[in-house]
Amino acid sequence: MDDNTSVTSAQPACLLSPEQIAGPYFRNPKLIRRNISEGLDGIPLVLKLTIVDAMTGQPVTGAIVDIWHCNARGSYSGWSRIDPDKEVDDGDIGAIPRTDDDTYLRGGQFADQKGIVRFTTIYPGFYAGRALHIHVAVRVTAGNNYLEERHVAWVGQLYFPEVASRSVLNTRQYGGRTVAPLTNDQDVLYETMGGEASTLTVHTLSRDSKEDGFFGQMTIGIDTFAASSQIKPEDFDKYTV
């Protein structure tokens, strides 16, 4: 689903966005913030996500939308000392010990009355064995203690058009790696878990230079009553999270 889709009660979305695995680098830093870049070097990215109830087409108001992704060099905060040029052995939450308490490129927002969240970040780089992507988790809040909420309804990964990614990877901040990134079609998760339906619509922020940054958007349809099997309540108790 893209952000230009007309979503009304008369025309319900009736389309669940595909779930994908959370991966080993999920954390719960309880950081509610729009700008997650922490001043890191990289091509700017403004991300707009619209969360809708796939059963009714209505906006999901007040959901906590968390995103996390690697930096321009392929490293995740919390695991900054893991070599991004070597493939990891296990993709499960809690499988890889944390190396630090950094928080860059992580954060959450509450969906507004239109189900929209916006983030200011940088275009992600890549790590060995994966195409460029951003992780997303949507928690449906039920009480007043929002940041303790463990009901994750949907978990996914967002991908980028190859043309945009190639232009980014050719810039100074993203170069000099010992491994090559996978294209979307070479990525097993993209191919087997609905990657095409999880690809952002991306535009440049400026006509002058792609290095001025990009704007990416997507509408995500979730089942608000679902409990995702990708991030379970007990996962929040793992020491890496």
pLDDT averaged over consecutive 10-residue blocks of the chain (241 residues)? 41 75 96 98 98 95 97 98 93 95 97 98 98 97 80 97 96 94 97 97 85 94 96 96 95
Q: Residue 216's Cα: distance from chain center in Å?
A: 11
The confidence score (pLDDT) of residue 8 equals 36
> Residue 237 burial (CB < 10 Å; 0-12/13-18/19+)?
exposed
- Show Cβ contacts of residue 33 under 8 Å, excluding neighbours closer than 6 positions: 107, 108, 109
Q: Is 67 exposed, middle or buried (0-12, 13-18, 19+ CB in 10 A)?
A: buried
Specify the pLDDT at position 14: 52
Q: Rounded CA gap, 91 and 129, in Å?
A: 11
Q: What is the pLDDT of residue 200?
A: 98
Residues 120/37, Cβ–Cβ less than 8 Å: yes
Q: Which CATH superfamily is domain 44-201+217-237 in?
A: Carboxypeptidase-like, regulatory domain (2.60.40.1120)
Distance (Å, whole) CA 215 – CA 230: 27
SS3 100: coil
- pLDDT value of residue 5: 39
**Half-sphere exposure of 132 toward its Cβ, with a 13 Å CA cutoff?**
22
How far apart CA 124 and CA 113 sit, in angstroms, is 28
CB 53 within 8 A of CB 7: no
